[in-house]
């Protein structure tokens, strides 16, 4: 059992101070490190750490996890979790959490700002002014009110953009491969072509599944209406940038905003190379759709809350790797969290061990996800070490944690 007053947290990569205060408010001892650590350094520092917080630069490898003798959960204070060996974490019964929704609003606001800027041709007016050109002409400048936005991918970001775009007077259409409920007055299109042929603005908010690589190319640009505007703030790999350049250079599209690229520079000093450089009425941004102080603070709070809830209550809601279980804590109960290999009969075996020792089950919840199951059991009247030893000795047990 982890003594709740002695939970050790190691946060790397300058995680937002809101996360530190949230974890300290739970009585945890937090050590915050400015930079990422490499594998050898992390192996050295992970001894005795219960919770590890990282961002995108720290790699949590199988070797690190082997050395992590006390680790119960990892918080990725970002969206992606590719930097963590998730199968190894699951094998060790370590829960991984991230912040999939914290920067949704930031992306939506950037998209909306870019739609207005492109529709008013602000980029050209701005660069003209910097070059000393005073051009008050209204040609090609429009209000966004009444124009039709076509959203491709109606998920977290697409739906929020739908609501905001409608509130500034735009008409909204969307296309999604999954069956999605239309919000407000949004119109669902039965095909991507229908959306492309009927919208003044097309904006991509699809996920990065492998099938989406290169799905938007010359054929799709040709389907868009003449003078339309194109935005991609989703994933760089989904768009053919040579085809986009041609559609812009030929005047078929009147503008574009791109935040994500198939190949992005690794560091600050590296040159940004793209077919889209030096085109008029094109806004290029360095993958900053979700980069706001508000989003960082929200990520800090969100992930820290998930980590604390896992330590204190065993809740795995929105865990990236473990089955999702959330059982309200009852006063005076002991709670046992049991991560196990998902095979038939585990529940019966656990309950038979408890019954043999006259332990009464007051609450219980089991969820499975692929190879693993997670069972949370609340018991009253205490338990002996023998009960825990027998549960631990089960062939299917991956990890057993007594929470209270």
Ligand X SMILES: NC(=O)c1ccc[n+]([C@@H]2O[C@H](COP(=O)([O-])OP(=O)(O)OC[C@H]3O[C@@H](n4cnc5c(N)ncnc54)[C@H](O)[C@@H]3O)[C@@H](O)[C@H]2O)c1
**342 in helix, strand or coil?**
coil
Tokens standing for residue 375:
């069972």
Report the residue closest to ligand X, judged by CB.
155
Give the list of residues 6+ apart from residue 137 with CB closer than 8 angstroms, or none. none
Report d(CA 312, CA 349) in Å as an integer.
Answer: 25
Helix residue ranges, H only, 120-155: 122-130
Does 371 qualify as catalytic in the annotation? Answer: no
CB of 261 to ligand X, least distance (A): 10
CA angle in degrees (0–180, nearest 5) for 141-144-149: 120
Report d(CA 120, CA 124) in Å as an integer.
Answer: 9
CB of 139 to ligand X, least distance (A): 31
Report d(CA 146, CA 76) in Å as an integer.
Answer: 41
CB 371 within 8 A of CB 296: no
Nearer to ligand X, 234 or 377 (CB): 234
CB of 89 to ligand X, least distance (A): 21
**316 in helix, strand or coil?**
coil
Nearer to ligand X, 26 or 98 (CB): 98
Nearer to ligand X, 176 or 378 (CB): 176
Distance of CA 49 to the CA centre of its chain: 24
Helices then strands, each counted (H, E), the chain:
13, 16
CB of 292 to ligand X, least distance (A): 10
Nearest to 255 by CA among 77, 124, 390, 362: 124
Nearer to ligand X, 128 or 208 (CB): 208
Does 29 qualify as catalytic in the annotation? Answer: no
CB of 191 to ligand X, least distance (A): 10
Q: Give contact residues for ligand X (rule: CB under 6 A).
A: 79, 103, 107, 152-158, 175-178, 205-208, 212, 215, 233-235, 259-260, 287, 289-290
Q: Which of 50, 91, 147, 235 is catalytic?
A: 235
Q: Which residues pair with 240 in a beta bridge?
A: none
Nearer to ligand X, 261 or 372 (CB): 261
Report d(CA 34, CA 17) in Å as an integer.
Answer: 12
Q: Which residues pair with 399 in a beta bridge?
A: 339
Q: Which of 223, 252, 287, 401 is catalytic?
A: 287
CB of 295 to ligand X, least distance (A): 8
Does 252 qualify as catalytic in the annotation? Answer: no
CA angle in degrees (0–180, nearest 5) for 108-114-119: 130
Helix residue ranges, H only, 283-397: 293-313, 346-356, 385-393
Nearer to ligand X, 150 or 289 (CB): 289
Nearer to ligand X, 110 or 398 (CB): 110
Helix residue ranges, H only, 102-205: 104-119, 122-130, 156-167, 192-198
CB 86 within 8 A of CB 62: no
Q: Which of 264, 294, 371, 389 is catalytic?
A: 264
CB of 402 to ligand X, least distance (A): 36
Name the residue with tokens 């585990």. 346
Q: Annotated active-site positions, please?
A: 235, 264, 287
């Amino acid at each position: 059992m982890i003594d709740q007053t002695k939970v050790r947290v190691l946060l790397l990569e300058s995680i937002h101070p809101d996360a530190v205060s949230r974890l300290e408010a739970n009585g945890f001892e937090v050590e915050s490190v400015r930079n990422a650590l490499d594998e050898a350094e992390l192996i050295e520092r992970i001894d005795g750490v219960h919770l590890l917080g990282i961002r995108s630069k720290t790699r949590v490898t199988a070797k690190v996890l082997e050395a992590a003798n006390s680790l119960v959960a990892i918080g990725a204070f970002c969206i992606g979790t590719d930097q963590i060996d998730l199968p190894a974490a699951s094998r060790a019964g370590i829960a991984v959490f991230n912040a999939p929704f914290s920067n949704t609003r930031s992306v939506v606001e950037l998209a909306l700002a870019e739609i207005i800027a492109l529709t008013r041709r602000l980029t050209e007016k701005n660069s003209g002014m910097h070059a000393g050109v005073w051009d008050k002409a209204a040609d090609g400048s429009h209000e966004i009110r009444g124009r039709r936005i076509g959203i491709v991918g109606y998920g977290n970001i697409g739906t929020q953009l739908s609501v905001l775009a409608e509130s500034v007077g735009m008409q909204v259409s969307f296309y999604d491969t999954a069956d999605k409920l239309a919000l407000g007055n949004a119109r669902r299109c039965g095909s991507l072509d229908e959306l492309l042929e009927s919208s003044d603005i097309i904006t991509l908010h699809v996920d990065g599944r492998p099938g989406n690589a290169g799905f938007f190319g010359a054929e799709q640009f040709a389907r868009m209406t003449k003078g339309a505007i194109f935005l991609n703030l989703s994933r760089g790999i989904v768009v053919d940038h040579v085809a986009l350049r041609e559609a812009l250079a030929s005047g078929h599209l009147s503008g574009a905003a791109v935040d994500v690229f198939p190949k992005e520079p690794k560091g600050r000093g590296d040159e940004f190379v793209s077919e889209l450089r030096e085109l008029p009425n094109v806004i290029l941004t360095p993958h900053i759709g979700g980069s706001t102080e508000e989003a960082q603070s929200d990520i800090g709070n969100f992930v820290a809350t998930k980590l604390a809830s896992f330590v204190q209550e065993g809740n795995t809601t929105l865990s990236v790797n473990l089955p999702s279980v959330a059982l309200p804590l009852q006063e005076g109960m002991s709670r046992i969290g049991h991560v196990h290999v998902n095979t038939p009969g585990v529940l019966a075996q656990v309950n038979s061990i408890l019954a043999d020792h006259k332990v009464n089950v007051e609450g219980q919840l089991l969820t499975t996800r692929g190879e693993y199951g997670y069972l949370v059991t609340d018991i009253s009247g205490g338990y002996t070490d023998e009960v825990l030893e027998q549960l631990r000795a089960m062939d299917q047990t991956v990890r057993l944690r007594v929470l209270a």
